[in-house]
Amino acid sequence: MKTGLVLEGGGMRGMYTAGVLDVFMENGIRFDKIVGVSAGALFGVNYLSGQKGRVIRYNKRFNGDKNYMGIRPLLTEGNIVNTKYAYHDVPYSLDPFDDENFKKSDTEFYAVVTDIESGNPEYIKINSVFEQMDVLRASGSLPFVSKPVKIRAKNYLDGGISDSIPYKWMAHQDVSKIIVILTRDISYRKKETSSLLINMFYRNYPKLAERLHKRHIEYNESAKELTEIEKSGAVLVIRPSKPIEVGRMEKNPENLQEVYDLGVNDAKNMLETVMRYLNE
């Protein structure tokens, strides 16, 4: 029996996911396949490298640096997160990522990206974080505040534009059990994105623009459908037990810790349910 794990994105709401995954690590819970979107991919790789606590640690340490994330990198390079700082300096030297341990894992890890020409999602297998850093960067490149990332002559943005919760993709893989970690509570409904903003930024990419126009509809329908599937027992969903109020670019260390702690507590409260579901 093979198992799959789906990780939603959500910027710094991903501290919730980090908390859940750290509890999984502590308790030896493993999966055969994982698919992550945006922050779900960027933070999820630490689960396979076995670096418990790294996600909350480096985000608390660096998010408040104006050169790392915010208006300054947005104005200087066109990305709200500094590319060199976040995707080279931190993982290679400031808080090293264990790519060798990641590569030794038997778990297949996929990151979702969005092709800006077609507006469609692609699911790219990550064999090495260091060698495929641009794939992860593309998966987390938020629309409007990030430049597209070129990979093999194609340009990509955030995977959440086209598939925010890729449980359907996972359901078509060779897995029998699926756990989905969300970063929104059960009451959340996504709101429509400004048409003016979409047209101003992506008028030259009509299929991407169309996807952004419909994103709130697709997200809300997916969340509703997932809730119905959950009732049938076909999937197990772990979601915040209360609304997470932090923004995508949250910098306050205390707020980040609070979201992480919520993930830890929710995971511990569901641990028996998770173990029973995976071992049935």
* Residue 179 β-bridge partners: 5, 236
- pLDDT digits 0-9 by tens, 215-235: 999 999 999 999 999 998 899
Kindly list the distances between the CA atom of residue 173 and the CA atoms of 4, 9, 170, 177, 274, in Å, as whole numbers in the listed order: 8, 20, 5, 11, 20
Whole-number pLDDT of residue 10: 94
Is residue 172 exposed (0-12), middle (13-18) or buried (19+ Cβ within 10 Å)? exposed
Q: Are 255 and 64 in contact (CB under 8 A)?
A: no
Residues sharing a CB contact under 8 Å with residue 68, sequence separation 6 or more, in sequence order: 62, 81, 82, 85, 86
Q: Which residues contact 79 (CB under 8 A, 6 or more apart)?
A: 73, 141, 145, 146, 147
CA–CA gap between residue 56 and residue 15 (Å, rounded):
6
**Per-residue confidence at 23, pLDDT binned at 50, 70, 90?**
very high
pLDDT value at position 1?
A: 84
Average pLDDT of the chain, as a whole number? 97
Q: What percent of the chain has pLDDT over 90?
A: 98
Residue 135 has pLDDT above 90, yes or no: yes
* pTM for this predicted structure: 0.97
Mean pLDDT for the stretch of residues 130-149: 97
Q: How far apart are CA 249 and CA 218, in angstroms?
A: 23
pLDDT for 275 equals 96
| Strand residue runs (E) in the chain | 3-7, 33-37, 108-115, 121-125, 149-151, 154-158, 177-181, 235-238
User: What was the pLDDT predicted at 280?
Assistant: 83
Question: What CA dihedral angle connects 202, 208, 211 and 216, to 10 degrees?
Answer: -50
Distance separating alpha carbons of residues 89 and 71, to the nearest angstrom: 19
pLDDT of 250 > 90? The answer is yes
